[in-house]
Amino acid sequence: MNKKRKEEAAARATQLRREIEEHNYRYHVLDDPVISDSEFDALMRELVELERQYPELQSEDSPTRRVGGAPLPGFATLTHKLPMLGLDNAFQAEELHDFDHRVRKLTGLSAVDYFCELKVDGLAVSLQYEEGIFLRGSTRGDGFTGEDITHNLRTIKQVPLRLYEPVTLEVRGEVYMNRADFEAMNKLRRENGEALFANPRNAAAGSLRQLDPRVTASRPLRIFLYGLGEHNLPLYTHADLLDFLERLRLPVNNHRALCRSIDEAWDFCRSWQDRRGELPYEIDGIVIKVNELALQERLGNTARSPRWAIAFKYPPEEKRTRVIDIRVNVGRTGAITPVAVLEPVFLSGSTVQRASLHNEDILAEKEIMIGDTVIIRKAGEIIPEVVRVLKEKRTGDEREFQMPERCPSCGAAVHRLPGEAARRCLNPSCPAQLVERIVHFASRRAMDIEGLGPAVAELLWREGLARNLADLYYLNAAQLAPLERLAEKSASNLVAAIEKSKGNPLHRLLFGFGIRFVGEKAARLLAEHFLTLDRLRRAGLEELTAISEIGPKIAGAVYEFFQAPETAGLLERLERAGVNFSEPVVEEGAAAERTLEGKAFVFSGALERFTRDEAAALVRERGGKVASSVSRKTDYLVAGSEPGSKLTRAREMGVEVIDEESFVKLLQL
């Protein structure tokens, strides 16, 4: 009897899995459900109960595996049998024609068919199926090795745990988040007092890299599949490949087209440029691929990208909104910056409500008034800016904005110094400046004090606990724990982070001081030249300007900072607190490791193994230099994923372009 029951349970479990996956496919892929949510839930509950009664019926392809298991201690790695390479970018029609010319020249053909797909702005992943069962999945990583995120990928409803046919293959795609889902999730996080995600792409990437799959399961992730890794399937074109993926019931983007020439491909790119706002998700361009798979194989790859594909990237998205008000911010150097307060508008992946107007000259040049209808975009896809005013939309109710004559923070008179565009508050005790200085001092590139952001900095100033930078090093957990926003653990963590920052090298401290015109590079040059703060503070203008790349403006600002009466007291208290005032010296025995001596590097695009700062530090440790722009003096451009215009300039100037793998080899890690 028991045997018969088990057989019946096994048959019913198999039937339930098929039904549930069918309904998942219809709901999440086809957007065409045929049963209600309650009916679907009833099927799922029945399967859960069967698997509870008969644990031996549990399987890798069961829909019950989507809910997420216990948190993982860390991510293992998976190696891609076929590298997941990035794509070269095109920004103009001419660059697409250059790509077509190269393809036809390498293949010897007079005409080539191309296949166009939307470039969804998400995170690239790889899914591996064996005999139709989803077994493992990973991130793109460095293109050769990715993080094993199998448990998190299982939670995405669009990912079938069993394919419609029992094939073994590796399929590749993009995990993303719809705009509406992103906004709803951020709204809930705001209500719960949690940190907000910057945009849908960051939200998707962060959700996939959770060590607790239950967190991933709670996020509204989706996926489109667009390609295969290593395979021996009888496919002849990329169009066949996508049709095959659809036949397996994998989610494939419907907005795609076979184009008989590069001109048709260009028409496809243009047609979606203005229509991309109609889509429920973000795209940043179009991917154009040689359609014939045999031709793809003949064309092969460079070290970092396939020769048979290119991404046409759209220019920054522009949106229309209205200027509700114009206010001013006071920065750490006293600069008074006008800021446009906007009617909220969703732009390039996030909701924008403010845009910097930089200074009163730009405000006057663009003739921006309160109440104006304006066009905005994100400069560098990051910082919102007003492009132009739509003067034809004016009603006569608009109002001019006048820059304040007094600082809105401290009430001191503001001044516009000769040769400067910004008005400034020159009061060294201005509260707004002090708070901004603390935030800058604690920032990652300066003293890297985790947990000391704008809200905490303002709280410390308001409570009288941090009226200058040195005060931070005399705080204790007993003072901090009773404060709003800080509990006992947060207070202890902040004190520990402040203590840890004492050991930072001199160049970080110099950058953290926020001396005018002294950025990271100048701070490092000064630290490496003088080695100790005592020597630097005693240097005269002549000695400062003699340093290569330290001009009169930087030298003057540094000299004035160390001559200021308040600086002496600040330094004395920092030294008494035990803050490091010296720069590490490269040992003689380490000279052999300076393998990049005299070599100049420029970075473009995102690296997988390092942040930009970490990569630059590794170059400098080995004697090399890092610049922000390509010039004739550049030896290497290191191209990460989605490099920008620096790549084009490097090629034009004959600068050697290397990928991240080659960069790691140069570092000899």
Q: Are residues 450 and 479 in the same domain?
A: yes
Interatomic CA distance for residues 439 and 434, integer angstroms: 9
Residues 451, 411: one domain?
no
Q: pLDDT of 243-259, one tens digit each?
A: 999 999 999 999 999 99
Look at the chain and report how many structural domains it folds into.
5
Last residue in a domain, options 385, 415, 445: 415
Choose the final residue of a domain: 415, 439, 465.
415
- Quick one: pLDDT at residue 32? 65
Residue 73: the pLDDT is: 55
CATH number for 608: 3.40.50.10190
Residue 388 included in any domain: yes
385 occurs within a structural domain: yes
- For residues 177 and 28, state if they share a domain: no
Neighbouring-strand partners of residue 301: 306
Structure tokens at 236: 């002849």
Nearest to 374 by CA among 351, 402, 345: 345
Reported for 253-256, long-range contacts at CB under 8 A and 24+ positions apart, including other chains, are: 253/117, 253/118, 253/120, 253/224, 253/226, 255/117, 255/118, 255/279, 256/115, 256/116, 256/117, 256/118
CA of residue 437 relative to chain centroid, distance: 25
* 423 lies in some domain: no
pLDDT given for residue 74 in this prediction: 65
Residues contacting 495, CB < 8 A, separation 6+: 475, 476, 477, 480
Pairing of strands 636-639, 600-604: parallel
Predicted local distance difference test score (pLDDT) of residue 28: 56
Residues 95 and 8 in one domain: no
pTM: 0.53
Are 443 and 478 contained in the same domain? yes
Instruction: Judge if 396 and 365 occupy the same domain.
Output: yes
Domain of 29 in residue numbering reads as: 2-58
pLDDT at 1 (0 to 100):
47
CATH code, 288: 3.30.470.30
Residues of the chain under the 50 pLDDT cut: 1, 68-72, 380, 587-592
Domain match, 6 and 98 both = no
Cα separation, 146 vs 78, in Å, equals 5
Q: Specify the pLDDT at position 52.
A: 76
Asked whether residue 401 falls in the same domain as residue 463, the answer is: no
CATH classification at residue 506? 1.10.150.20
Is residue 69 situated within a structural domain? Answer: no
Catalytic residues: 119
Q: Quick check: is 442 in a domain?
A: yes
Is there a single domain that holds both residue 330 and residue 309?
no
DSSP strand E in 19-122: where?
77-79, 89-90, 114-120
Residues 160 and 183 in one domain: yes
Residue 274 forms part of a structural domain: yes
* Same domain? 144 vs 186: yes
Indicate if 351 and 385 belong to the same structural domain.
yes
Q: Is residue 63 part of a domain?
A: no
Domain boundary among 13, 36, 58: 58
Assigned domain for 71 exists: no
